[in-house]
Amino acid sequence: MKENRGKIVKASHTGFCFGVRRAVGSAEKFLKKHKRAYSLGPIIHNPSVVNDLSSRGLEVISDIKRAKGSCLIIRSHGISPRLKENAHELSIDMLDATCPFVKRSHTIVTRLKKENYKIIIIGEKNHPEVKALLEVAGSGALVATRETDLKRLSFKNNKIAVVAQTTLSRDRFFRIVESILQLNCLEYRIFDTICNDVVQRQTEAKRLAKRVDLVFVVGGKISANTRHLAQICREQGAKTYHIETAKELRPSWIKPQSLVGVVSGASTPADIVEKVVTKLKKII
């Protein structure tokens, strides 16, 4: 049963996660002193933050050669060993802002590769973290985004090890792991490398979406963890809007006396969430 009408319920877990706060903080500090740096792809998946850093001198590039002889800030998603090597060859100084939890996945995968496991990374093929991790895992590894991707597995190897993209939906991870366990291998090693911050946001979003009439999920449209939050809210049956800023919020979406939830992704600044809440207060 839905509760008190005309109310806004904001998730308790909002603002930057540890890794994003660390990456943005390092970039700001560096730019204050050196005025110019590059990032290969957006440093985090939030356009407002990327624009702000760009105004301070951080240029987003898609080709590492553009940073030749300059400084590259490695984003929170990490970088592949091949690109690191390229950076050295191009005399690029690197400021490593890779999230320690992403680095932990690299360490786990490096060890598993040495131990000859067939490595399965559960995640999104085009996500920068997964692309880098796949390179660490080597040519025999596989990315599984959904259960059907497992059909491409060769059964010559009887040792399977599984890791996850740090920002994956936990429900999806468990679903795919369940299918992997049906593969009749001799040995399985499952590493739940989903970040604890992400799990907390997902748990809260699920609980909140069951209570309210509609949910606003605030965060970058290309942010994987924000998109997963929106998906989780929809799966609970709540009308869900994924918005990047308060500007996108249309008063016509909200019926009078609605109970409205607000959740946000790990790369969404707290002030953007607050602006959404302020606008909602004026509407409800």
Q: Which residues bind ligand F3S (CB under 6 A)?
A: 17-20, 76, 99, 101-102, 166-167, 195, 197-198, 225, 266
C-alpha pair distances (Å), 46 with each of 27, 93, 144: 14, 25, 25
What are residue 7's phi and psi, to 5 degrees? -140, 150
- Nearest-CA neighbor of 149 among 172, 167, 133, 166? 172
Minimum CB distance to ligand F3S smaller for 112 or for 194: 194
- Nearest-CA neighbor of 105 among 159, 161, 67? 161
Inter-helix orientation angle 224-235/196-211, to 10°: 30
Minimum CB distance to ligand F3S smaller for 129 or for 244: 129
- Taking the complex as a whole, the smallest distance from the CB of residue 264 to ligand F3S amounts, in Å, to 12
Minimum CB distance to ligand F3S smaller for 38 or for 101: 101
Tokens matching residue 30? 């560096």
Burial call 257-275: b when 16+ CB within 10 Å, e when fewer: ebbbbbbbbbbbbeebbbb
- Taking the complex as a whole, the smallest distance from the CB of residue 203 to ligand F3S amounts, in Å, to 14
Minimum CB distance to ligand F3S smaller for 53 or for 198: 198
Residue 235: active-site member: no
Minimum CB distance to ligand F3S smaller for 18 or for 241: 18
Q: How far is CA 6 from the centre of its chain?
A: 32
Query: How far is residue 179's CA from residue 150's CA, in Å, rounded to a whole number?
Result: 8
Q: Which of 129, 178, 187, 248 is catalytic?
A: 129
Query: How far is residue 26's CA from residue 22's CA, in Å, rounded to a whole number?
Result: 6
Select the residue whose beta carbon is closest to ligand F3S and give its number.
Answer: 19
Q: Which residues are catalytic?
A: 129
